[in-house]
Amino acid sequence: MTWVVAEAKGFGISEHNSLVSKDPDDQTKEIFRPYRVFCARKDLHCKDVVLEDGDVARALIEYTSHTAIEHLVIGSSNKTGFLRFKGSDIPGTLSKGAPDFCTIYVVSKGKIQSMRSASRPVPFVSPLLTLNSDPPRVPLSGATVKGERRPLEVPPRRSHDGTTDSFRSPFTRKGMAERYVEISTPVDSDITFVSSGRSSIDKLFPTLTNNNTSESGFSNPRLSYSSDTDANYSFESLNFGRRSIDITSPDHSFSSDGFSSSSQTTDDVEAEMRRLKLELKQTMEMYSTACKEALSAQHMAVELQRWKIEEEKRMEEARMAEEAALAMAERERAKSKAAIETAEAQKRIAELEAQKRLNAEMKALKESEERRKAIDALANKDVRYRRYSIEEIEEATSFFAEALKIGEGGYGPVYKCLLDHTPVAVKVLRPDAAQGRSQFQREVEVLSCIRHPNMVLLLGACPEYGCLVYEHLSRGSLDDVLFCRGNSPALPWQLRFKIVCEIGTGLLFLHQTKPEPLVHRDLKPANILLDRNYVAKISDVGLARLVPPSVANNVTQYRMTSAAGTFCYIDPEYQQTGMLGVKSDIYSLGIIFLQILTARPPMGLTHHVERAIEKGKFVDMLDSKVCDWPIDEALTLAKIAIKCAELRRKDRPDLGKEVLPELNRLRELAESNDQHSVLNGFISPSNQSQVSVQVS
């Protein structure tokens, strides 16, 4: 492959009206230098051509036509990596005037700006392709070598068709002198590794590049080279016996007549060539020495690089070994730490297990002692209730069948059955219920001593299996009746006033129990049961706790360890402080009174009723299922309920002195009302309905 880099520039016309080839200046050398280096590194044959003409575009077109160039790369009008052509639009002129077998590429900033493709193949082989094998030729115009006056001529070159090519046509127009000087040398190898400042051909051939003028006044031809000095270049390729240098005057062109010069000039030239051979030999020896030194340095660099790699490898292995040792030590440290932590955890677990075992033993001993005391107390105490066996209860409840379950209390289910031909409700304590056994004992002891019309009657018990037998109340709980569950009818206001008074009477009975007042602690509509005549009875006294006799009435207080009962009905002060007193039940009583009036949920009910009274809309708060409310009496009951539900215990009224007298007045009003007949009809046996019992 041949790489051709061309520069075209204008020329000056001498006094003999000829084309004069000047020596390449520094700027031209700098322009060609990167392309030479590029071609040398890519192992490409490069040929430098310097064209001198007043019309640059026309000179390029003629040179392209003469040398049959297939591809021509030129720079655009803008300044690029190639030499910027001056004058008119040279790329456009070349695209229009170049031969149609030449493909023209116009490049700008490293990219193809435009391209004109060839329309036909090359008509003949380019003479440039033969320069790779032929010795270099130096067509000179009007110049001499080392001041000799006798000209030498090179045999004329033959073109592809056998005709003589004197390099005058098409470049020598109208007898004008030869217009270009060219030297082509093959690039066999790249020796750029020896030194970045390697010698050039100017140092190898100082006589050929001498810029001093000869005695005849002619200057040396302008020389251009394709690359720096070639290591394999041999000057013997210039065979002066077969090829010679044509030296003519400025007024003559190349011809075969110059070959008959005098023998003296030939001898001088041969002497000069011998001297040049000697200089070339010395230069080649220096080059060979430099190559050997460079090779030795390269080998040393390779050895150093290999030694460096081995050292780095050893260092890397040592580093990896160190890291592995550190990692292993870290793992061992972590294992040791984990083992220590595991041992400590096992020790703590063992201590906890020992403490739990000790607590369990202490608890078992305490329960055994309490059980013994209870058995002794039961054996020595006058039992006032009927003792049932578990066989009797199982037979009555069909082994606790689900069909007979009528409710689910906080401590176990409730079943309806017949015992001694009497309808009863059997409450069975769950084995896992907290404080279940103590709860059972308390209910048995308390309820066996209680006899009151407004208290649920305890008929018997099965102490061995924790079963309580109560009287069965057919109307169910007040909560079911207020919210009309089980298709129960809405209560008239007369019954509501009567139930209010009965609840207050039963609660006062608990608070006046001697020798110790009894606090219910879980008073709510679900624990108020109604018999077939809608008589209210308080049930589930199992959560009650006896208050010490040292504190009674208004100052009765007792610090409890945990809050019991439903949240909305529990005394707020009891929730905050744990201080329990008889007025804790007064708060629950006030909430129940408001629900009897409104039939609404307890959450925030006190606040809503107060707002309604303030805005004069109390009637809207009353239960809409009752149409004939006595507004004044209902408002009186609502105000009593609001006072009972005060947040502070000291602001609540006394049940026996303030609340119960007003409740008795309301009951008397209900009983003396003209609609008393309606009340009797409402509680007649024909309108009775069975409602499920919910006991907690």
DSSP assignment of 495-550 equals: HHHHHHHHHHHHHHHHHT-SSS-EE-S---GGGEEE-TT--EEE--GGG-EEPPTT
Mean pLDDT of all residues in 274-302: 94
Query: In sequence order, what DSSP letters do the residues of 567-627 get, joined into one string?
Result: GGGS-HHHHHH-EE-THHHHHHHHHHHHHHHH---STTHHHHHHHHHHTT-HHHHS-TT-S
Claim to verify: residue 207 and residue 288 sit in the same structural domain: no
Q: What is the pLDDT of residue 150?
A: 36
Count Cβ atoms below 10 Å from residue 92 Cβ, excluding itself. 14
Domain membership of residue 82 (yes or no) is no
Q: What is the pLDDT of residue 657?
A: 93
The one catalytic residue in 522, 540, 571, 585 is 522
Q: Give whichever of 210-214, 265-269, 534-538, 555-559 has the largest mean pLDDT.
A: 534-538
Mean pLDDT of all residues in 596-603: 94
Amino acid of residue 204 = L
Q: Provide the pLDDT confidence category of residue 249 given band limits of 50, 70 and 90.
A: very low
Domain end position, chosen among 352, 381, 410:
381
For residue 253, pLDDT beyond 90 = no
Claim to verify: residue 47 and residue 181 sit in the same structural domain: yes
Q: Check if 268 is active-site.
A: no
For residue 377, pLDDT beyond 70 = no
Mean pLDDT of all residues in 640-659: 94
Domain end position, chosen among 261, 295, 314:
261
Claim to verify: residue 587 and residue 622 sit in the same structural domain: yes
Domain membership of residue 76 (yes or no) is no
Mean pLDDT of all residues in 151-155: 36
For residue 472, pLDDT beyond 80 = yes
Claim to verify: residue 217 and residue 364 sit in the same structural domain: no
Claim to verify: residue 49 and residue 129 sit in the same structural domain: yes
Claim to verify: residue 678 and residue 545 sit in the same structural domain: yes
The CATH number of the domain holding residue 405 is: 3.30.200.20
CA dihedral of residues 26, 28, 32, 34 (deg, nearest 10): 50
How far CA 207 is from CA of 147, 220, 285, in Å, comes to: 11, 10, 19
CA dihedral of residues 608, 612, 615, 618 (deg, nearest 10): 180
Let me know how many helices (H) and strands (E) the chain has, helices first.
16, 20
Q: What is the pLDDT of residue 439?
A: 63
Q: What is the 3-state secondary structure (H, E, C) of 275-337?
A: HHHHHHHHHHHHHHHHHHHHHHHHHHHHHHHHHHHHHHHHHHHHHHHHHHHHHHHHHHHHHHH
Count of structural domains, the chain: 4
Domain membership of residue 220 (yes or no) is yes
Sign, CA dihedral 250-251-255-260, equals: negative
- Lowest pLDDT segment from 98-112, 382-396, 460-474, 491-505: 382-396
Q: What is the pLDDT of residue 607?
A: 95
Q: How many angstroms separate the CA atoms of 521 and 570, rounded?
A: 7
Q: What is the pLDDT of residue 513?
A: 82
Comparing 191 with 516, the larger pLDDT belongs to 516
The CATH number of the domain holding residue 518 is: 1.10.510.10
Closest CA to 50 of 78, 79, 24, 76: 24
List pLDDT tens digits, range 175-215: 333 333 333 333 333 434 333 343 443 443 343 334 333 33
Claim to verify: residue 304 and residue 248 sit in the same structural domain: no
Q: How many angstroms separate the CA atoms of 328 and 616, rounded?
A: 85
- Lowest pLDDT segment from 105-119, 379-393, 522-536: 379-393
Claim to verify: residue 425 and residue 534 sit in the same structural domain: no
Mean pLDDT of all residues in 39-64: 81
Inter-residue contact 489 to 687 (CB < 8 Å):
yes
List pLDDT tens digits, range 301-312: 999 999 999 999
Domain membership of residue 113 (yes or no) is no
Mean pLDDT of all residues in 619-624: 93
Structure token digits, residue 557:
């207080």
How far CA 24 is from CA of 39, 91, 186, 217, 223, in Å, comes to: 20, 24, 20, 19, 7
Comparing 183 with 69, the larger pLDDT belongs to 69
Claim to verify: residue 168 and residue 146 sit in the same structural domain: yes
How far CA 629 is from CA of 448, 533, 668, 669, in Å, comes to: 40, 21, 16, 12
319 exposed, middle or buried (CB, 10 Å; 0-12, 13-18, 19+)? exposed
Claim to verify: residue 294 and residue 184 sit in the same structural domain: no
Domain membership of residue 78 (yes or no) is no
Q: What is the pLDDT of residue 534?
A: 93
Mean pLDDT of all residues in 333-358: 93
Domain membership of residue 146 (yes or no) is yes
State if pTM tops 0.75: no
For residue 327, pLDDT beyond 60 = yes
Chain mean pLDDT for the chain = 73
Claim to verify: residue 372 and residue 496 sit in the same structural domain: no
Domain membership of residue 94 (yes or no) is no
* Containing structural domain, residue 633: 476-687
Amino acid of residue 620 = D
Q: What is the pLDDT of residue 308?
A: 94
Inter-residue contact 637 to 498 (CB < 8 Å):
no
Q: What is the pLDDT of residue 587?
A: 95
Claim to verify: residue 210 and residue 318 sit in the same structural domain: no
Q: Which residues contact 656 (CB under 8 A, 6 or more apart)?
A: 508, 511, 512
List pLDDT tens digits, range 7-29: 545 444 333 333 334 455 667 77
Mean pLDDT of all residues in 445-457: 82
Domain end position, chosen among 407, 440, 472:
472
Domain membership of residue 93 (yes or no) is no
